[in-house]
Structure 1
Amino acid sequence: MIKILALDTSTEYCSLALSLGNEVLTREVLAGQRHSELILPMLQEMLDEADITLNELDGVAFGSGPGSFTGLRIGCGVAQGLAFGADLPVAGICTLEALAEGSNESKVISCLDARMGEIYHAIYEKSDGQWNILSEPGLYSPQNAPHIDGDEWIGCGSGFSAYGEALKLQYGSQLKAVFGDVFPHARHIASLAIPVFQQGRAVEASKAAPLYIRDKVALKTSER
């Protein structure tokens, strides 16, 4: 039985999950800019509820991105610090794949609001219990979001709330439903991380890193 802690601070929400085999404890809060203030007390409360210590876990997973630059740095830093202290491996999980995992669907267009008139976007299809990436995570203007064949797609994430009209023009009747109010959650990061730990694909804490995608955040849109 793999026992892992998962956390996500990539959006305005802060979430934690403690996966203990058949039991998963979770916490989430609309944190705004208070992730670093809230996450450790939330974690301690959850560990106390489960009557377990970090040293008894098998690993730490975090939402590696894309998402808020500050949030991704906080998430990675907290995961590294906890893993260093408890001598645990770390798994970074893509937040767009976590959106797909949380949809309970098999054909998902994941889309997060990247601000500055852009979106973080990826397309996934599940087959035999595994997510296949049909369009890699990338940064796009909504009107230039990658095309995909077929229909019965589910749109997930804040990108559909922020740029719903442009994305509906792009995908039209290919979309079966849109859920713009969902966010990457640690519960789904934990689910995706379990096989990573089982297969020995996690890394030591020092090698954990965020997935930024946008690497020129300091420049204006026109300058990029």
Structure 2
Amino acid sequence: MQILAIDTSTEFLSLALWLDGRVLSRDIHAGQTHSQQILPTLRELLDEANIELTALDGIAFGAGPGSFTGLRIACGVAQGLAFGANLPVVAVSTLQALAQQSGADKVIACLDARMGEIYHAAYEKQNNAWIEVSAPALFKPEEAPKVTGNDWVGVGTGWLVYPEVLQTVYGEQLREMPKPDHSSHPTATSIAELALPTFEAGLARPAHEAAPIYIRNKVALKMSERVNR
């Protein structure tokens, strides 16, 4: 199975080629330049692998939650490439991608959603598969949903922006807090790993069905709302 995976949900541009278990990847702090860098970087990756897009089995992308602009870029590029190469697509949750790359079995994934909020989900691995304990949703950090049991690991930029608040919410249930490194953003490698079973089962979708997972309906606060917060 040979898969291209894309994520632009944060300030990082992450690309990976899954080539029958071998992985070639790029993770670049792109800031606001994802759209300028994604296709040249993809070309470099394909050249390194000595493979063309049409030889792949499909394209996976980080569907969200995350940056509105970033999600549109990943979805649009995945859709456009898939149309051109006649490939199916798989949309992967960015929060589940964080859980996948954590190395833990009980994960509370939080991405900074700006505007004083976080994108939150909780997952537990059972029989080598992720079970959704708390579905992806938008919360103020102090209102993050409770979980049961201990040995939870916190991952994602939400934990880096609101460490004290989330520590207060989960307290001794936590085994580990995240560190400020690149593992705090979803990687295309973890997206490829999560998408692989769907591709193998023949359940990938046609390109026209690709869609982001926004969660939040509002991009920004009105001026009156900012004053009143």
Q: Secondary structure at the match of 1:147?
A: coil
Structure 2 CA distance, aligned partners of 1:215 and 1:136?
Answer: 17
Q: CA RMSD in A?
A: 1.3
Structure 2 CA distance, aligned partners of 1:63 and 1:120?
Answer: 14
Q: Give the equivalent residue in structure 2 for 1:110.
A: 109
Q: Secondary structure at the match of 1:84?
A: helix
Contact map agreement 1:159 1:180 (CA 8 A) in 2:
no
TM-score, normalised relative to structure 1 = 0.97
- List per-residue Cα deviations over 1:42-92 (Å, max 9, x = no partner): 100010011100110000000000000000000000000110010000111
Is 1:183 the counterpart of 2:182 in the alignment? no
TM-score, normalised relative to structure 2 = 0.95
- Counterpart of 2:64, as a letter, is G
Where do 5+ consecutive residues of structure 1 fail to align? none
Structure 2 CA distance, aligned partners of 1:177 and 1:40?
Answer: 36
- Counterpart of 1:156, as a letter, is V
How far 1:199 sits from its partner (Å)?
1.4
Aligned residues: 223
Structure 2 CA distance, aligned partners of 1:219 and 1:146?
Answer: 24
Structure 1 CA distance, aligned partners of 2:163 and 2:57?
Answer: 40
- List per-residue Cα deviations over 1:107-142 (Å, max 9, x = no partner): 000000000000000000001110000000000000
Structure 1 CA distance, aligned partners of 2:47 and 2:195?
Answer: 23
Q: Give the equivalent residue in structure 2 for 1:33.
A: 32
Contact map agreement 1:142 1:163 (CA 8 A) in 2:
yes
Structure 2 CA distance, aligned partners of 1:132 and 1:71?
Answer: 26
Structure 2 CA distance, aligned partners of 1:218 and 1:30?
Answer: 23
Instruction: Pick the aligned partner of 1:198 from 197, 200, 209.
Output: 200
How far 1:216 sits from its partner (Å)?
1.8
How far 1:219 sits from its partner (Å)?
3.8
Relative to structure 1, is the Cα distance of residues 51 and 191 closer, same or farther in structure 2, using a 3 angstrom cutoff?
A: same
How far 1:196 sits from its partner (Å)?
1.0
Ranges of 4+ aligned residues in structure 1 off by more than 3 Å: 218-224
Q: Give the equivalent residue in structure 2 for 1:93.
A: 92
Q: Give the equivalent residue in structure 2 for 1:214.
A: 216
Contact map agreement 1:158 1:180 (CA 8 A) in 2:
no
Structure 1 CA distance, aligned partners of 2:220 and 2:101?
Answer: 32
- List per-residue Cα deviations over 1:145-177 (Å, max 9, x = no partner): 000010100000000011111100000011110
Structure 2 CA distance, aligned partners of 1:199 and 1:47?
Answer: 25
